[in-house]
Structure 1
Amino acid sequence: MRTLRRRTALVIAGTAVIGLALTGCSDSGSGRKSSGSSSSKGSSQGSSKDSSKGSDKGSDKQATPSEDGGETKPAGKPGTGGGGKSGPCTNAETKLTVTAAPRPVNYQLLTLTNTSKRTCTVLGYPTVSFAPDLDGTAEGREDTKPQAVVTLKPGASAYAGLNTSPADQADDGTKSHAKTVSVDLIKQIGNDGSTVQFGQPDTVAVNDLFIYEPKVTYWQQDLDVALS
């Protein structure tokens, strides 16, 4: 995930005469287009950006970088996609629960409920990590990829099945156990299969799960499909 860097506004001090002289040189020699009728326009724009720091405009929300490193939006209030389609769900506007599934063996059911007032989509499979003993994430089960994008209206839920260990794998006491499960959501999937996450995973306490080669299904609209 890319790191946001603030651009530093360059303030040119001097008299109005020197400012006009510099503007004339920029237009004739540098090849760069003038940003306005005078250099004071660029200066006032930079001042406006600086003065917005600490204001109520997103100051208490973590911004999420766009894929191309350009415009950013607060993670809690993403915009909708083009053509009237909804944007991806975020951790900030969903609620996660992790419960032991009655079947199959060694499965946990991940339930993600849309708690916002907008319709959103859930992409791919959840990025699931474990603590305190394990690094890495659960492997996604490509055989469970749904035919259509999973869309959640306000109050609706999506489901994923987490297989914590194979049925024939015994817990001999030497392998890792998890006391918490963390789930992050995907913001975007590239053409090459690469993903961008929101980076604010939900963490849920679990009852000392035995973890060995964990796998997780894609998000599903149907609970039974997630556990099949």
Structure 2
Amino acid sequence: MGTLRRRAALVIAGTAAVGMVLTGCSDSGSGRKSSGSSGGSSSSKGSSKDSGKGTGNGSGSGKTQPTDTPSKGGGGKTVPAGKPSKPATGGGGGTGPCTDAETKTTVTAAPRPVNYQLITLTNTSKRTCTVLSYPVVSFGPDLDGTAEGREDTKPQAVVTLKPGASAYAGLNTSPADQADDGSKPHAKSLSVDLIKKVGGDGSTLQFGRPESFKVNDLFIYEPTVTYWQQELDVALS
């Protein structure tokens, strides 16, 4: 009887030990699962956190930048497509008529033909300009009228002067066959004005600021003047 009781006790003790071992294995397994579950939860939180950062700092932040916003350097002003820019100022532009302020005029006695004065006009500006018609020549000190323009000398094209270039006109103060008998007027000065506009009917508009020159007692009778010419020889022909 005593031996059987001892074996039973041993059996009970062994069974209890086995139970403890099994329980320990179960806890250890549960611990691994819990650790795995915790790792999965941490990964999920990290993913959510990363996603949040991307949304806050990236292009998907909810704040859009307009694609047509002008840069600061452009002053916020844009030029519509197809709108021409303004032309450059300074020297380029159209070739308007030469003015008195942009030219220098000289008057000299011509060696030939007889009774001729040579009028030279030089472009002293930095732009190209045109010389219209013929110079308006009047005589002083108190002679009435102006020299008549010679239509037979009208050039085929308008005379254009680049900076530094010159145009010429021949002034015939009296016909070669007209004798000076002392009864006709003489001029001690003459003035030259430029024409700034020619009307469709042939009328002219002057600048109104003629330049005056002293001359050596010229005999004036039915004076004529040529159109402006590019060549000196043509003006004195």
Aligned with 1:131 (options 130, 140, 154): 140
The corresponding residue for 2:23 is none
CA distance in 2, matches of 1:224, 1:161: 9
* 1:119 and 2:128 matched: yes
Aligned with 1:97 (options 100, 106, 125): 106
1:133–1:176 Cα contact (<8 Å) kept: no
Alignment of 1:136-155 (within 5 A): 136-155=145-164
The SS at the match of 1:151 is strand
Q: Deviations over 1:31-57 (max 9, x none)?
A: xxxxxxxxxxxxxxxxxxxxxxxxxxx
CA distance in 2, matches of 1:179, 1:203: 11
Aligned with 2:200 (options 191, 196, 201): 191
Structure 2 unaligned regions, length at least 5: 1-88
CA distance in 1, matches of 2:205, 2:221: 26
CA distance in 1, matches of 2:190, 2:119: 10
Larger radius of gyration: 2
Moved over 6 A (4+): none
Q: Deviations over 1:195-215 (max 9, x none)?
A: 111000111111111100000
* 1:174 and 2:183 matched: yes
* 2:220 maps to amino acid: I
CA distance in 2, matches of 1:147, 1:217: 14
The SS at the match of 1:121 is strand
TM-score (norm 2): 0.60
The corresponding residue for 2:168 is 159
The corresponding residue for 1:86 is 95
1:133–1:177 Cα contact (<8 Å) kept: no
Higher-helix-fraction structure: 2
Query: Could you tell me how far 1:100 is from its partner in structure 2?
Result: 0.6
Higher-strand-fraction structure: 1
The SS at the match of 1:225 is helix
The corresponding residue for 1:13 is none
CA distance in 2, matches of 1:179, 1:96: 18
TM-score (norm 1): 0.63
CA distance in 1, matches of 2:207, 2:142: 23
Alignment of 1:16-27 (within 5 A): none
- The two structures, once aligned, show a CA RMSD in angstroms of 1.7
Query: Could you tell me how far 1:93 is from its partner in structure 2?
Result: 1.1
Q: Deviations over 1:19-72 (max 9, x none)?
A: xxxxxxxxxxxxxxxxxxxxxxxxxxxxxxxxxxxxxxxxxxxxxxxxxxxxxx
